A and B are shown apart, each in its own frame.
Chain A
């Protein structure tokens, strides 16, 4: 799927990976986040070589340092909004998960809706919950896979604003996968993929 892909992202950077359907964006994201391992090559995340770690160690690493936002939200349907946000914290065994979840709900503007189940929320609301969940563990890096792909333009923009402002507070690195040129423009750096190869790596004109 991917050939000769090599790049480095410094801490706190905001990078967009763009390319047409089938260019290998999602595969790349999966590798960067340690969801999958490459057949050849290395992925190093915050000084940890993901390719030499066991699946369970990678899971722990994700739990501690990585946040995710997905196109299709990927909330757990059987948990309420608040409980969804608590999951990463509880998996790590941190105390005060409920308080932190309330704080984040407030922050994403859903303070009153914490007891609702995903299917009772609109798409925009679901994605806000997903964003809150992504920041619950104060991740060092956030992966966003077409985070506005399932939303209308206005909602999409608002969601993205929220993502950016939360990121500013947390100081996380963001890796955004999208084919939305407008969205990509807001990133500090854009990596273009086509047929599994990097065809461009440009810093945005500030």
Chain B
């Protein structure tokens, strides 16, 4: 029938279709298991997709609503009323570009409702009748915005009615002006919802602003002008010819594209930062996939041997299983993407209050596809490592009675293995770089990831070694057996320690950073017992306010406030310095990144100050002013005194000597905040010339202070020796402690009635506000911590599954030899307890280090790790490991000894 003949070697081979169908059929029983391992990456993909999609949603919404956010095509702003020269520049801009202007002046004031006696610090916005050009301000009852200009009306935030115990139609006094509350505001484009709690808004017609008599020389106010350009005009082009002139006149100009870029850049940075969690989750998932696939591979040895016997080449076999893994990895990534989209739809509810726009949630194909591709690739590359071992399976295995997992060991210098390792490392770095706009940050992330993996691998190797060395014959059998499991061939020590330690590290780091930040707030809030601040007190009112406050409570601090700008540093004018600094822009962008991040956790007040500061954070990316420019151009509200307060610490130089404090000299003395000095690039001994409302006052920097800004006290970037500012026009800030809510309200009311221009702030209100913000942030962080805990489970499960078969086989054999259920349980317990202990403790130690790094270098605050909770997390992880280990061992009891013998 068959004639003898030579084998034609390049004969027919299996077609792709045949191989594919064989692959599909062969995967039948393993599909679900493989998919289970692949879910390790799902959570990582979900996080990336959710974060990226949401960030894209926000960015898209901002782009769509950018004109409404700004209210015009260009917004101009100044801290003082416009001078005739300034007006002339703006007029010529209007003539040249065809712009029309709307005006809005913003200033703080006390609002008082005489009927109820309620008072509250508010943000007053006096607007011209054509304000705003874009966007719609909605009110309740509806359509009252149009009616605002019809008389002395006020439109207020709803929360103000509650805190003033007022209702529509009530009279509201601002300074000496009286207004009728016509409606409450429902939606005002351009401000995040949370802004309302900080300072409720009151809109009044611009022409009634003078009646309040609040805007006098030196008052805190922002004079805004919105410009509307003819349709199709480019705002940047319209402003460009005037930019230098405007800058010189200290008018800031922000075009709609700049404002768009600023906000989206912030969103971008925030999402990048949160995205790190997703990235690390993905890598952890990769570790889970690797150990899961290792388990899968060890089950497949027999099948591979048969296939090889039947004529399959090692390449065909590898292709079959790579295809299976890739398909399941893709499914895992798809599932993750779906979950991510679901989460994305829930995010506006969590973050909406912090955002200046209404976020329109839409599917973001780019984010979804990126998530799937990155996740699928990670799954593939991490499964390749264990899959490569299948090439080693010899067809001879079919003749052997026992599937030996040792044969899966690859030489360390096996070329494909080295190639896969390199590809894996490069993928991690590439993805980290891809995800962070700042290359340095990307490298940091990859470096820390590798460092953590290295430390964990080292401790796993150490555990094996110590277990081998310390095993004593005198120990009870079950302990000996359990400890021996740690170093025997094909042990699971490394994979479990790695995934467990990594998980513990992540969760603990998140927790430590979070608790540290929150406590930082808490400590500072508790420290100060002041509960009332009065500001904008004029010189001639200071004594009277002081005695009134003293009659009701205690004056804790009274500080003069002098407004000023920097004119020159060491004889070089601000203009010169800024021009030079632009050349060093690259260098600054790094400092800027860290400074921005600090903002996100620093006081909201300070952040607002930064944003409204001269120059702002910015112009479009290509012509972004550098940070020093902001610090150089901003308005400083400084004080003078002869002593250091409890909230500050001298870190360099000396505080003013008593003699110099009282003797006026040509050059005065100033003490600067450490950070602002760094941003100004000013050193100890430098001379900064200040423009104090037209008068040039040079002052030598004689000390640098570290200021705890989070304390609710008046703090100052610049503190002068009293002699330096003796002559300067000033206002006063007064910090008081008054007992009892009604006493606080009564004092505020009395001050407002007698001194309408003096604003007061109930600090307990601020504390509540901060507590609310902190609570929201905490919820978000808790969610992330819970999320990382959740992703630890499938990873740990995969790690344990990797050696589950050997475990069961051995357990059944032990049972055959007479081991009781309890003995086997205790063997497993000994092994998993040791693994869990080492893994979670190593993770914890690493996390304490990681937490220190993050708080020190990223958040720039003090660090005192919450050791108790860190231990609790470690214990939890330990319990989780033991549970999963024992659950895996359960199958030992399902199988009869006979089945084990038959199987061999």
How far apart are A169's CB and chain B's nearest CB, in angstroms? 7
**Stretch of B9-17, B141-149, B414-422, B589-597 with 4 or more beta carbons under 8 angstroms from chain A:** B9-17
Is there contact, CB below 8 Å, between B30 and A93?
A: no
How far apart are B858's CB and chain A's nearest CB, in angstroms? 50
B304 closest partner in A (C-beta): A76
Which of B4, B27, B30, B309 has its CB near the most chain A CB atoms (within 10 A)? B309
Is there contact, CB below 8 Å, between A170 and B2?
A: yes
Is there contact, CB below 8 Å, between A76 and B26?
A: yes
Number of interface residues of B (CB under 8 A): 41
Assembly CA distance A138 to B307 (angstroms): 17
**Stretch of A55-63, A101-109, A190-198 with 4 or more beta carbons under 8 angstroms from chain B:** A55-63
- In the complex, whether B313 has a CB less than 8 A from a CB of chain A is yes
- In the complex, whether B807 has a CB less than 8 A from a CB of chain A is no
Assembly CA distance A56 to B11 (angstroms): 13
Assembly CA distance A77 to B299 (angstroms): 11
Assembly CA distance A79 to B313 (angstroms): 19
Residues from 300 to 357 in B contacting A, C-beta threshold 8 Å = 302-303, 305-316
- In the complex, whether B583 has a CB less than 8 A from a CB of chain A is no
Contacts of A87 in B (CB 8 A): 22, 307, 310
Is there contact, CB below 8 Å, between B394 and A93?
A: no
A75 closest partner in B (C-beta): B306
How far apart are B20's CB and chain A's nearest CB, in angstroms? 10
Is there contact, CB below 8 Å, between A35 and B396?
A: yes
- In the complex, whether A125 has a CB less than 8 A from a CB of chain B is no
Partner of B14, one of A74, A92, A140: A92
- In the complex, whether A68 has a CB less than 8 A from a CB of chain B is yes
The verdict on A59 contacting B2 (CB below 8 Å), with A48-B7, A88-B311, A90-B18 known, is: no
B310 closest partner in A (C-beta): A88
Is there contact, CB below 8 Å, between B399 and A60?
A: no
- In the complex, whether A26 has a CB less than 8 A from a CB of chain B is yes
How far apart are B898's CB and chain A's nearest CB, in angstroms? 14
Partner of A93, one of B13, B302, B401: B13
Assembly CA distance A137 to B2 (angstroms): 11
Assembly CA distance A35 to B398 (angstroms): 9
Is there contact, CB below 8 Å, between A91 and B9?
A: no
Assembly CA distance A167 to B714 (angstroms): 100
Residues from 41 to 91 in A contacting B, C-beta threshold 8 Å = 46-48, 55-57, 59-66, 68, 70, 72, 74-79, 83, 87-88, 90-91
How far apart are A24's CB and chain B's nearest CB, in angstroms? 12
Is there contact, CB below 8 Å, between B395 and A59?
A: yes
Assembly CA distance A202 to B395 (angstroms): 30
Assembly CA distance A77 to B804 (angstroms): 19
Partner of A90, one of B11, B22, B28, B315: B22
B15 closest partner in A (C-beta): A93
Partner of B394, one of A36, A63, A169, A171: A36
Is there contact, CB below 8 Å, between B11 and A94?
A: no
Contacts of B13 in A (CB 8 A): 60, 91-93
Assembly CA distance A83 to B27 (angstroms): 13
- In the complex, whether A11 has a CB less than 8 A from a CB of chain B is yes
Is there contact, CB below 8 Å, between B313 and A56?
A: yes
- In the complex, whether A29 has a CB less than 8 A from a CB of chain B is yes
The verdict on A140 contacting B22 (CB below 8 Å), with A56-B315, A61-B7, A68-B309 known, is: no
The verdict on A91 contacting B14 (CB below 8 Å), with A30-B399, A76-B307 known, is: yes
Is there contact, CB below 8 Å, between A56 and B309?
A: no
Partner of A11, one of B4, B6, B307: B4
Is there contact, CB below 8 Å, between B7 and A46?
A: yes
- In the complex, whether B1 has a CB less than 8 A from a CB of chain A is yes
Contacts of B307 in A (CB 8 A): 76, 87, 91
B395 closest partner in A (C-beta): A35
Assembly CA distance A118 to B398 (angstroms): 16
Contacts of B29 in A (CB 8 A): 77-78
Is there contact, CB below 8 Å, between A79 and B25?
A: yes
A134 closest partner in B (C-beta): B310
Is there contact, CB below 8 Å, between A60 and B311?
A: yes
Is there contact, CB below 8 Å, between A47 and B6?
A: yes
B312 closest partner in A (C-beta): A91
Q: 3 closest Cβ contacts across the A-B interface?
A: A63-B311, A56-B313, A35-B396
A residues bordering B, Cβ < 8 Å?
11, 26, 29-30, 33, 35-36, 46-48, 55-57, 59-66, 68, 70, 72, 74-79, 83, 87-88, 90-94, 97, 133, 137-138, 140, 145, 169-172
Task: Taking A78-B25, A90-B14, A92-B311 as given, write out 19 further A-B residue pairs in contact, using a Cβ cutoff of 8 Å, ordered by the A residue number.
Answer: A30-B396, A35-B309, A35-B399, A55-B313, A55-B314, A56-B314, A59-B308, A59-B395, A60-B9, A62-B309, A62-B395, A74-B306, A74-B309, A77-B302, A78-B26, A79-B26, A92-B14, A93-B12, A94-B12
